[in-house]
A and B are shown apart, each in its own frame.
Chain A
Amino acid sequence: MRPLGIQVSCAQQLVSACDEVNMTRRRLLKAIGLTTATTITLPLLAACGGDSDEDGETPASGSTDDAPATGESAATPGEATEATDDDYDPEAILIFGSSVDIPNLDPAVGHDGAIAATQKAVYDTLYRHMGNPAELVPWLASGHEVTDDAIEWTFTLDERATFQDGSPVTADAVVYSLERVLTINKGVAWMFSGILSEGNVEAVDPQTVKFTLSEPFAPFLHATAWLFILNQTVVEDHAEGDDQGQGWLLSNAAGSGPFKIKRWEPGTLYEFESDPNYWRGWDNPRLKGYIHQISRESSTKRLALEQGDIHVGDYISAEDITLLQRASNIIVPDEPSIGTYTVKMNNQHGPTSDVNVRRAISYAFDYGAMLQVMEGRAVRLPGPLPPTLLGVKEDLIFYETDLDKAAEELAKSEQYKDGFDIEFAYVTGLEEERRTGLILLDQLSKLNITVTITPMEWANAVALFADPEQSPDMFPMYSSTDYPDPDNFLWQAFHSSAAGTWTGASHYSNPEVDRLLEEARSTSAWETRAGLYGEVQQIVVDEAGDLFVFNEVGGAIHSDRLRGYQYCPVMGSASFWYQTWLAKQ
């Protein structure tokens, strides 16, 4: 193992930021450290060990009324600055070719990348994740206060905020929206159900709402970015029986967001038009609208991008990305993301329940070969946290490919030192996962370990994860990126309560890690939390809880006509088109 150096230096970040074609003024300010966000932020300079106005308290204890730029600079409705770019095409509609459908838009039910992106377009939240590194920006809230024990969170609503029907967004709407999430008990309910119950949210006055948590939860401000605020009157007008509007909201919206639904053709396309009267106004030239077009085949999306049929594409294969990088009209961002790819190793059953075996596998894996498979779209993941996340342990001791050390570790195992058979299961059709298996097969054969590679339907795998006796020995997996906080990555994978969920497919269990994670959740002082998370990272790496493989490079691949694009690595935020516009052809 070797100590982890800082993955991306400040200077490199700054240079790469300045080189970006689409860099905005705000982005530049952020890059050179002039932005002084006082909310819970993940500033670049902090990640690099530089100075910032952060006092180490996360979330900030006290008011955040002096909001960052996005909060203050929002134009008022009707005063949108729509003509700052000579090339601006006010009639252009952005076409987003996406592999992912939007089966259910209801904020209390649907929760995945494409759904989240759409929810963020038609609804607003108290705070919103923006930029990269992701910052929490006050949105419907103009600020918040929190008690020192991180129990009472009081938010002041922006007085300008109105729903799309013109009625004001009030504290009652926030209370209604949260209680609806809790009673329906689907979607993002897991974020709130353990810390809030009905009656714990109170409308102090029409502009003030107070959440009283049942236990301290330091990342709560992040959770507010997932509480989409609904217009209660509109929902109740469309409710059938006791469904709380679920039937209607799956393809309609009752929000206050910058976009309105125009067309809803399931499995084909979803069209949205921008609201010229959006209560925050439009900082940039206003996109007329956008279309989320379902396009599942990577090569089709590549050709469509090159032809100009679509302006943005997602889930494009590494091979097609390589080809697109040669196209003069296409921009392929390579921003650091917070998406991690690990191989879950069953910590409770089979050969991988032996820590020496897991360490041997971690030493034996050829990380360089895997990065070659990803063709430059990934960087090495040393531990459980993405390298650019605030809170990553900078002096983490981690594994590098070393077959001699792998053999040494394996020799420590009484039961498995002479070799064994092991299963690597992966999702049918996912090529990089299959190749991960091939790398393991090749490397582990040198230790007399025979790997069987088994393609498996995802539905079957999820069912198997529930039981450690049946869970595969090894299974590759991408993490979910709900919020950019160490808690998101560490709790979902290594707290014993997560065992059996698909993010906890390793069935890792260590009372000390549980204790550290729980303590980190219940303290608001960031430096204390960071120390606790550092301890957790080293423990799970020492115990090789998972095989930590790579961290994806992110950013939507797009046409050079798209302007104002800001990548945000939080789930659903990479395709939030509020700040973008299209240039003329």
Chain B
Amino acid sequence: MGQYILRRLILIIPTLIGLSLLTFTISKVVPADPAKLAAGPRATPDMVETIREEYGLNDPLYVQYGRYVTNLATGDWGRSIVSRREVVEDLKHYFPATLELVLASELLAILIGVPMGIVAALHQNRWPDQLSRLIAVSFVSLPRFWFAIILQLLVVVGLGLLPLSGRLPPTVVPPDRVTGLYTIDSLLQMDLATFWTALRHLVLPAFVQSVGAMAIITRTVRGDMLEALSRDFVRTARAKGLSERKVIIRHALRNALIPTTTMIGLSFGFALGGSVLVETVFDWPGIGLYAVQSVINFDFEPIMGVTLLVGILFILLNLAVDLFYGVLDPRIRFK
């Protein structure tokens, strides 16, 4: 298994080279001039040239790509042409916000989606099943942007239960950085007041972010549970006299969770790329907005940075999901 993991990790390198080459090529064939854009509306040709020289944009493409990859190997992810900030520093700043949002949203999706799927399967074609179907179809088809605004109106303005936006109120200083996740960092520092405030800020965006995954998980668990419940091993378990609870949780659900795990892994990976709409409505300073702003400004190195980071995470997530299959089903062996 150790060799399997090592081999998968080594495979990251050619994958990233391919990814970087693809992103680089696409960004260079698009008819845009990042130097002109960064120089501003009334920049003289001389000023534009200054920026081109500083960022090596006059060099042949293969030289630019070679320099980028070489720098990458030394841990230098480049600098934004707009802000001059190090891309690595930006990623360290923006990514934890997205990670916190995604972790919370996936947790919500699992905690609500899995039980809802089980209940639907156990009450097939009866009202709990119909209700869960209605919820799932609604959640997966609701425009996220609209749903977020409606929830703001209902929960924030109408009921006054939760804050409107942001990770913390602007006047509250974030906890000292350990992970960059405010809820975790505040807990680590035993700052319960900040933890509670950060948690309250997290609930609404995490819920909006979670509904798509929640719907898919619900429907996947339902389908796989129905299939598992009709299998011989379930009949055997019941024949042995096991309680219905044990039959469902230990036997049926465990088998049903394998495809669900794949779905969770995929949705987690997609979400890590950032959800621009949720981040926009809730003023959540995540990596999605950072990526979009970089694309708008045609800021090449941040675009590359986000692409590579998300690529690495996606590969690692896939590996984690594959390994988790072995936990769920010991018959699965890795060679």
> A interface vs B, CB < 8 Å?
93, 95, 101, 103-104, 106, 109, 111-112, 184-187, 189-190, 193-194, 246-247, 250-251, 263, 265-269, 271, 291, 293-297, 299-300, 303-304, 306-307, 309, 457-460, 462-464, 466, 470, 480, 482, 492, 498, 501-503
Contact = CB atoms under 8 A, between A and B. Distances in A.
A501 B41 CA distance: 6
Given A263-B173, A293-B170, A297-B280, 15 more contacts: A93-B171, A103-B85, A186-B39, A265-B93, A294-B283, A300-B165, A303-B152, A458-B37, A459-B295, A459-B296, A460-B30, A460-B31, A462-B32, A482-B42, A503-B42
Nearest to A309: B164
B153 interface: yes
Contacts of A250: 83-85
Contacts of A106: 84
Interface stretch (B44-52, B103-111, B190-198): B44-52
A101 B293 contact: yes
Nearest to A304: B164
B144 to A, nearest CB: 12
B184 to A, nearest CB: 18
Contacts of B308: none
Contacts of A300: 149, 152, 164-165, 281-283
B80 interface: yes
A492 B43 CA distance: 10
Given A266-B85, A460-B32, A463-B33, A294 B285 contact: yes
Nearest to A292: B170
B128 interface: no
B277 to A, nearest CB: 9
A523 B157 CA distance: 58
Contact of A464 (B31, B50, B84, B152): B31
A466 to B, nearest CB: 7
Contacts of B163: 309
B90 A480 contact: no
A111 B40 contact: yes
A193 B37 contact: no
A533 to B, nearest CB: 18
Contacts of B293: 101
The 7 closest A-B pairs by CB, nearest first: A103-B83, A459-B298, A459-B32, A463-B33, A268-B285, A267-B285, A185-B50
Nearest to A464: B31
Nearest to A250: B84
Q: Which one of A95, A103, A460 has the greatest number of beta carbons of chain B within 10 Å?
A: A103
Interface in B147-169: 149, 152-153, 156-157, 163-167
Interface in B43-93: 43-44, 46-47, 50-51, 80, 82-85, 90, 93
B94 interface: yes
Given A291-B171, A459-B32, A460-B31, A267 B290 contact: yes
B164 A103 contact: no
A259 to B, nearest CB: 16
Given A103-B83, A268-B285, A501-B42, A303 B166 contact: no
Contacts of B94: 267
B152 A104 contact: no
Interface string B6-31: 00000000000000000000000011
Contacts of B33: 459, 462-463, 466
Contacts of B121: none
Nearest to A95: B170
B262 interface: no
Nearest to A251: B85
Given A103-B82, A103-B83, A459-B297, A185 B46 contact: yes
A51 to B, nearest CB: 35
Contacts of A109: 84
B149 A459 contact: no
Contacts of A501: 41-43
B42 A457 contact: no
A529 B117 CA distance: 77
Nearest to B145: A297
A520 B79 CA distance: 42
B116 interface: no
A303 B51 contact: no
A502 B36 CA distance: 9
A245 B20 CA distance: 32
Contact of A193 (B36, B44, B157, B171): B44
Q: Which one of B90, B164, B290, B293 has the greatest number of beta carbons of chain A within 10 Å?
A: B164
A112 B46 CA distance: 19
A58 to B, nearest CB: 22
B34 interface: yes
A291 B47 CA distance: 32
Nearest to B281: A297
Given A187-B40, A457-B296, A460-B30, A104 B283 contact: no
B181 interface: no
A269 B171 CA distance: 10
A294 B285 CA distance: 8
Interface in B83-140: 83-85, 90, 93-94
B289 interface: yes
B167 A268 contact: yes
A328 to B, nearest CB: 15
Given A185-B46, A291-B171, A463 B83 contact: no
A492 B36 CA distance: 16
Contacts of B282: 300
Interface in B163-207: 163-167, 170-171, 173-174
A498 B43 CA distance: 9
A343 B30 CA distance: 25
Contacts of B156: 303, 307
Contacts of B37: 458-459, 462-463
B32 A463 contact: yes
A492 B296 contact: no
B48 to A, nearest CB: 9
A433 to B, nearest CB: 15
28 contacts: A103-B80, A104-B82, A104-B83, A184-B50, A185-B50, A186-B51, A190-B42, A250-B85, A267-B289, A291-B170, A293-B283, A296-B280, A297-B281, A300-B149, A300-B164, A300-B282, A303-B156, A306-B157, A457-B32, A457-B298, A458-B37, A459-B295, A463-B32, A466-B36, A480-B42, A501-B41, A502-B41, A503-B41
B32 A307 contact: no
B150 to A, nearest CB: 10
Contact of A247 (B84, B157, B295): B84
Contacts of A482: 42
Nearest to A246: B84
A492 B157 CA distance: 45
A307 B161 CA distance: 13
Contacts of A295: 165, 283
A185 B152 CA distance: 46
B246 to A, nearest CB: 48
